Structure 1
Amino acid sequence: MADELKLPRWVRATDSGWKLSPRGWAIALSILPLLALANIVALFVSLDGVPLADRLVRPEFLVAACIVVFVPWTCNTIRLLLWSRFLGLGLRPSASVRIVIGTTVANAVTPSATGGAPIRWLMMVSEGIPSARALTLLTFQMAEDFVALFSLVLLAVILTGFAAFAALSSDPAIVRSVGGSVQTVMTVGAAAFVVVVGLVVAAVKGWLGSRVRDLLVRFARRLRAIVASVAEDWSAMLRNGKGMVAANLALSATQWGARFTIAALVLAAFGADWQPVLYWLLQYLVQAISSVIPTPGGSGAAEAAFLLLFSPFTDRDVLVPAVSIWRLVFFYLPLIVGALLFFVLNQRRLRREKRWAAEVSAEPETPAGTGATDRPAGTPPGRQGTE
């Protein structure tokens, strides 16, 4: 639990869980203007004095990209709401939006290799979802995403006749880049596994002191209880949630299908051939490569991977300005909108909680169990109960 763990200064514990402190958000969001400015400078350099309007052959595709980029948010929010209803959590739509957008913003300003799961779990707990149920929601969605993405990638590979892999494997630079990324993942994963196992063995043997050993024992007990709760939720889902699984799989497929279509739309706006399946697959590979690079949001790595993977299939005159526009639309547009929306939603929540606190302080004391209040004690309107 929060009071048993040493939290970094940019995370604070609250009655309903953990959340990023205002200082943490300020530090994180201060990085965004610098990264966006770098992409804008790269865009103007790539245009070589030619107005952007003259480079755009079909601007309607760029408008479509600016709309489609928000489809994943919508699908993700609906998926979270559906599963929370299934589990009886009663999550409000505004809380679901905060979780999805907050995760997006936090992911963008942390190294991609960190992964979104811990941040998403943190956001769920900060909205008052019990930690075990938050882990259940994570495992549900991770399983759906794996099935949906695997199916979409397999379908794209089949529809393109394996042409993408044949072309990419013939380029030594691409082979070295992909091979290096795979080697990095394997090395970091193996090193992390060895370190974790070593620390656990040392703690069990008592080499790190009795206090660390006691903490490990308490953590193991807590982990067993969480695993048992998650297993119970999965059992309920397999018994009674098959229709819910089908609906969420369809939403997941729509979410990932839209997410990796942005490159095809941007390239089409610059006059490239319309090859949605091939470009969807290439953007998926770009995301996979950049996700292992320890830079905020994969900045730098995403642009380099885009140029590297798309160059065999697209003219350089189109590709160079398109990569900056793609990054601005795919990454910075939803990020800026998300940061503003997250701020507005948080301000609304804070005002609602202040009103609730004022109402509670003004209410006379009432005996427990008299039904004098419509909400559980200590739970402000719009927030979930805690464990």
Structure 2
Amino acid sequence: MSLVIWYTYTPDTLHYLVPKRLPGIFIAIAVTFLKVWFFAAKIRVLADEAISFMAAVRISLSWDFASAVTPSTIGGAPVATYTMTREGIPLGKSSAIMLYSVMLDQFWYAIAVPIILITGIFYEVVPDEIGLVGNATMFLIYTGLLLYGALLSYGLLVNPKAINRVIKAIFRLPLLRRYSESINAEAENLESYSYELRKKPMDFVLKAFFYTTMNWLCKVALPVIVVLSLLPGPEVLLVLRSLAMNLAFLIIPTPGGSGGVEGLFVLFLGPLIDRAAFIGLSVFVWRVITYYFSLGIGIMAMLWYVNRSVSNKLEKINMKEEEKEEIGQA
């Protein structure tokens, strides 16, 4: 981000800001909160509303936080599974919820990819600046997303026993064998809940997919809103390129995509920004609102779980000490 600002900065940049557009920054902040709300709503639906909405918000924030500090290719799913168990959802069920949530994302990709390909006939959705290698990479990303979505859908909706077998096979490895007994039980729970998900009515699936779609639309809208808050631009092309850019984010191997997403922002949206000096400013504002916001508020959510865990351990220690004192007195 610093490099982008350094190479695009020119004196008197702020002089060209249009004051009447600046309130758009507050709209971007509001959309960030909406993104969290939709994500939490999806988790609560998948959990059969067995948890409170605040619990779902904490899980959502923790998931975002973990995604921000781990490589994009890993995401925050393992942490989300842990936080769900801390909210009272069994591990097997929380794993199934996490996988089902990821599968819904794959359904969204399956819709987004054709949109990009079809609109690419009329608009330059993938910029020429990325070159032949970039175009080939984007093709591989799109293909990989569709194949992964198909495999995950098969495992969850058609043959849940296959996921059970894979998990058991992994935990037969020498280093993991000691956990096999407890994990095998949870794998059975995962398979059982997967079968339950298959029996859910269509309105359950549609509601969960609606929240997934709205969450992703918020992600796509954020960079567009930030750019338009600073200066005019081609709205339709900004949205389409933001969509393509967000899909490309998924393969960046750095924590939270740091470094890579800023470069993709410059490649995809930079050419649509009339004044080069505003590219660095746009990247800065966008990352502060999305990435650093997730870090800051996610830390608070994670600390809630840490404090709760410490409190529970202290209570157990105190109970043991009291029991010892009672035995001593007896």
How far apart, in 2, do the equivalents of 1:137 and 1:150 lie?
20
Query: For 1:142, which of 83, 99, 102 is the aligned residue?
Result: 102
Are 2:297 and 1:331 aligned? no
The answer for unaligned runs of 5 or more in structure 1 is 1-38, 190-199, 365-387
Give TM-score, length-normalised by structure 1: 0.63
Q: Distance in 1 between matches of 2:249 and 2:321?
A: 54
Do the aligned residues in 1 keep the contact of 2:55 with 2:87 (CA within 8 Å)? yes
The aligned runs of 1:311-326 (5 Å cut-off) are 311-317=270-276, 318-326=278-286
Candidates 261, 279, 296, aligned match of 1:302: 261
**Match of residue 50, structure 1, among 5, 12, 37:** 12
- What's the CA shift for 1:75? 0.7
Deviation string, structure 1 residues 70-129 (Cα, Å, up to 9, x no partner): 21110111121222235xxx2233322221111111110111122333332233234332
The answer as to whether partners of 2:39 and 2:215 remain within 8 angstroms in 1 is yes
- Give the distance between the partners of 1:221 and 1:349, measured in 2 at CA: 28
Choose the corresponding residue for 2:43, options 80, 83, 87: 80
Compute the displacement of 1:358 (Å): 9.8
Unaligned runs of 5+ in 2: 148-165, 324-330
Aligned length: 298
Structure 2 counterpart of 1:176, which letter? V
Name the residue aligned to 2:228. Answer: 268
- 1:176 paired with 2:136, answer no
Aligned to 2:211: 251
Deviation at 1:268, TM superposition (A): 0.7
Amino acid at match of 1:284: L
- Cα gap change, 1:80/1:154 in structure 2, threshold over 3 Å: closer, same or farther? same
CA displacement, residues 110-154 of structure 1 (integer Å, 9 cap, x when unaligned): 111223333322332343321211122123322332333433554
Q: Partner letter of residue 69 of structure 1?
A: T
Aligned residue number for residue 327 of structure 2: none
Relative to 1, partners in 2 of residues 1:231 and 1:52: Cα closer, same or farther, differing over 3 Å?
A: same
Distance 1:359 1:248, change over 3 A: farther
In 1, the alpha carbon distance for the partners of 2:68 and 2:270 equals 26
Q: Using the TM superposition, give the Cα deviation of residue 354 of structure 1 relative to its aligned residue in structure 2, in angstroms.
A: 7.8
What's the Cα RMSD here? 4.0
Identical-residue share of aligned pairs (%): 21
Give 1:43 shift: 4.1
Residues 62 and 298 in structure 2, CA contact (< 8 A), matched pair in contact too? yes
**Deviation per residue, 1:24-78 (Å, 9 max, x gap):** xxxxxxxxxxxxxxx4685477443436475355101111111111211101111
Higher helix share: 2
One-letter amino acid matched to 1:254:
M
CA distance in 2, matches of 1:97, 1:325: 24
Q: Residues of 1 paired with 2:310 and 2:191: CA distance? A: 37
- 1:344-372 deviation per Cα after TM superposition (whole angstroms, max 9, x unaligned): x44774697589769988999xxxxxxxx
Distance 1:91 1:255, change over 3 A: same
**8 Å contact from structure 1 (residues 69, 334) kept in 2:** no
| Aligned mates of 2:305, 2:182 — CA distance in 1 | 32
State whether structure 2 residue 191 is matched by structure 1 residue 228. yes
Counterpart contact for 1:69–1:330, Cα < 8 Å? yes
Shift of 1:163: 0.8
Alpha-carbon distance change, 260 to 184 in structure 1, aligned in 2, over 3 angstroms: closer
